[in-house]
Amino acid sequence: MVRNFIIERIIENKFSTSELYSRYPHPLVGSLDLWAVNKFQNLDGGAIRAIQFRKAKKIIQFAYRNIPFWSDYFGRIGFNPETMESIDDLTKIPPVSRELIKQSSIEYSFIRTKDSIFDTTSGSTGIPFGFYYSRSTLLRRKSIYLRNLSWVGFSQNHQIVRIMTRDITGLSGVGNFVSCRGPEELEEKKLHIYRLLNQDATILEGVASSIFYLAQLMEKDSVKFDIVAVVTTAERLSQGQLSFMESVFGAKTYDCYGTREVDRIAQECLKKEGLHINSEWVYVEIVDERGNSLPFGKSGKIVITTLDNFVTPLVRYELGDRGTILPHLCSCGVSLPLISFEGRTFEQIELPDHTIIHAFEFSGLFNRFSDKILKYQIIQESIDRISVLIIPKYEFTLADQQMVKNVFENKTKHLMYVTVTVTNQVYSLPSGKTSVFINKLR
Ligand SMILES: [Zn+2]
């Protein structure tokens, strides 16, 4: 009982280890916070929801009282946060899109305190977005990160190697970070990465496409390292890509779901029965196209409410992703709910008959050509036109081009005009990243 009381106090920031840590960064405070999140994951569902409700109520009331965007929004829809009685009251709030928040100035939507740090999303969703996060959330971000890695077998004897465009906020000093924007940079830094991997048994983490490319390089160079687990983020991989990576690394790969403005939302554990939601950090719901709540087991749009970052509260915020909250718990014993992530809605191709297919459905095709293709890009030019750009590694024959064209024509039910072009350049996003899929309909 006393133990549960302490866990609740820490998780609900009534005794904020994060704030304490930002003032006195003593390892003991860090251990205490990590202890609390590790205990929180085993509370029963009722206790977890009760804590989520108290945290959600506190941050929503704070937003209502202090942030013009949210006072105006709640006023407009006739929602009074002061009267919230259960977490289900959130369903009275229509979801808020990234575009809606972006239309307003940052001063109108968020709060800047001396504690706030400015950051932006990379714009891989097509909508770059600036926001703040509070320095006092850094310790909690780190605790959740370490807990997530412990789900895939991380222990004191292992090192962490992260390969990403920018490092995850709050993780400086945790593991080894290698900055990498794409295949060219990965190739340049290859030897440095090999040296790191050679040091110790490793948990390897990074953006899916970079990690996949690393596997290709390692296979070419016939090198092996002691890799315990691989955690990939941000992009979906095909089954073929996954099996290839697992054979090269000699380790299983696990999915992590997160975004820059929310950080780590969910991650798979060793059982791979779904992604456990970091429920003390974020409240996740699934809604239909009109914003109505969907029950567990139904697929729809993911909306989230952040529970800790008071300088950028996000309430029923649409991330542009699709998923399902699973109706069962994981057999690993962690009681945090499971979500399956089904891809980003901006990766959808809309056919002239208005059916939707996901761009990642073509990753299997490109995987078969992985020895011939350096990079590819799919562009939906209009409702009935699709272009495929291919930067070849070696010769990409007319027969290869025809095969790509056939697969695209079949998958799009012969409703679209498909062109396949061999080129030496694909379109880049302002961040310098190249997106596999561009939808000009949006
Ligand atoms: Zn599990």
Q: What is the pTM of this model?
A: 0.82
Model confidence at 235: pLDDT above 70: no
Taking the centre of ligand 1 as the mean of its atom positions, its distance from the CA of residue 124, in whole angstroms, is 29
**Which residues have a beta carbon within 5 Å of ligand 1, which is an ion?**
269, 271, 330, 332, 334
Taking the centre of ligand 1 as the mean of its atom positions, its distance from the CA of residue 334, in whole angstroms, is 6
Q: Which residue has the higher pLDDT, 105 or 310?
A: 310
pLDDT score, position 21: 83
Taking the centre of ligand 1 as the mean of its atom positions, its distance from the CA of residue 176, in whole angstroms, is 26
Taking the centre of ligand 1 as the mean of its atom positions, its distance from the CA of residue 336, in whole angstroms, is 8
**The length of the chain, given as a count of residues:** 442
Structural domains for the chain: 351-439 (3.30.300)
- In contact, 126 and 84? CB cutoff 8 Å: no
Mean pLDDT of the chain: 88
Among 207, 238, 236, 243, smallest CA distance to 407 is for 238
Taking the centre of ligand 1 as the mean of its atom positions, its distance from the CA of residue 332, in whole angstroms, is 4
Taking the centre of ligand 1 as the mean of its atom positions, its distance from the CA of residue 321, in whole angstroms, is 22
Taking the centre of ligand 1 as the mean of its atom positions, its distance from the CA of residue 230, in whole angstroms, is 16
Model confidence at 93: pLDDT above 80: yes
**Cα–Cα distance measured from residue 205 to residue 352, given in angstroms and rounded to the nearest whole number:** 39
Model confidence at 432: pLDDT above 60: no
442 - beta bridge partners? none
- Provide the pLDDT confidence category of residue 341 given band limits of 50, 70 and 90: confident
Taking the centre of ligand 1 as the mean of its atom positions, its distance from the CA of residue 11, in whole angstroms, is 21
Model confidence at 183: pLDDT above 80: no
Taking the centre of ligand 1 as the mean of its atom positions, its distance from the CA of residue 352, in whole angstroms, is 40
Model confidence at 205: pLDDT above 80: yes
Three-state DSSP state, 348:
strand
Average pLDDT over residues 80-99: 92
Residue 211, both tokens: 């990690």
pLDDT score, position 346: 62
Give me the torsion for CA of 150, 152, 153, 154, rounded to 10°: -50
Average pLDDT over residues 125-137: 72
Taking the centre of ligand 1 as the mean of its atom positions, its distance from the CA of residue 292, in whole angstroms, is 28
Model confidence at 322: pLDDT above 60: yes
Taking the centre of ligand 1 as the mean of its atom positions, its distance from the CA of residue 136, in whole angstroms, is 28
User: Minimum mean pLDDT among 207-216, 406-415, 425-434: which range?
Assistant: 425-434
Model confidence at 310: pLDDT above 70: yes
Taking the centre of ligand 1 as the mean of its atom positions, its distance from the CA of residue 335, in whole angstroms, is 8
Transcribe 95-159 into DSSP letters: PEEHHHHHHS-HHHHS---TTEEEEE--STTS---EEEEEGGGHHHHHHHHHHHHHTTT--TT-E
